[in-house]
Amino acid sequence: MSDSPDPLDSIEALEALYGAPLQRSLDKELGHISDLYRQFIERSPFVVLATSGPEGLDCSPRGDPPGFVRVVDKRRVLLPDRRGNNRIDSLRNIVRDPRVSLLFLIPGIGETLRINGNAVLLTDHDLCQSFAMEGKAPRCVISVTVDRIYYQCQKALHRSRLWDPEAFAAREEVPTAGAMLKSTVSGDFDAESYDNDYPEHMARTIY
């Protein structure tokens, strides 16, 4: 490997290296939610929300039972902002830069679905109540208007063996939340107690 890497710094150089995209990779992109894309969204229990703001980028996991992302029409989807840690990084970004991306996953399925669009935050009482879970409504709902939507092929999930139980990590191979938190805070912190208590805490605060 060279000690002086030569970065790609132009679109022309990038296109020369990779060549033209396959036509089918362009054909799958739409400016609206088709019936089949709608089926994918409504079956997905997990989506990653990407946003951009003055402080930089943010990527946030969102999950609920399938159908939690509501397809309003061919151009718009709604997703609830569930209870979290009140960092609200994604929401801070959206109010200053509405551009967002969504990446939908379905357990056991190799394809993913991507939406690029613009978002606004809605706080209408009745709308928020319509997304209530266990009697608790979100404080706001994220409304995303679709600019582009398309599916991604199976290669990445196949290479990663994401849904293969034989590839799942053993708990002891991955640092726990308590261990990671202890490494970042000052003073005494009982990581083991934090990890042991977290399932009960999550059950009380998940909604």
Q: What is the C-alpha to C-alpha distance for residues 135 and 203, in angstroms, rounded to an integer? A: 14
For the record, the structure tokens of 17 come out as 């290296």
CATH 2.30.110.10 fits 23-160, yes or no: yes
pTM: predicted TM-score of the whole model, two decimal places = 0.93
pLDDT band at 2 (very low <50, low <70, confident <90, very high): low
Q: What is the C-alpha to C-alpha distance for residues 101 and 3, in angstroms, rounded to an integer? A: 36
Angle formed at CA 102 by CA 113 and CA 181, multiple of 5 degrees:
120
pLDDT at 5: 75
pLDDT band at 3 (very low <50, low <70, confident <90, very high): low
Tens-digit pLDDT profile for residues 95-128: 999 999 999 999 999 999 999 999 999 999 999 9
Count, residues in the chain = 207
Tens-digit pLDDT profile for residues 123-151: 999 999 999 999 999 999 999 999 999 99
Q: Which residues of the chain are in CATH 2.30.110.10 domains?
A: 23-160
CA distances from 70 to 5, 12, 86, 117, 131 (A): 46, 40, 23, 15, 9
Q: What is the C-alpha to C-alpha distance for residues 179 and 162, in angstroms, rounded to an integer? A: 24
- The residue behind tokens 């609830």 is 80
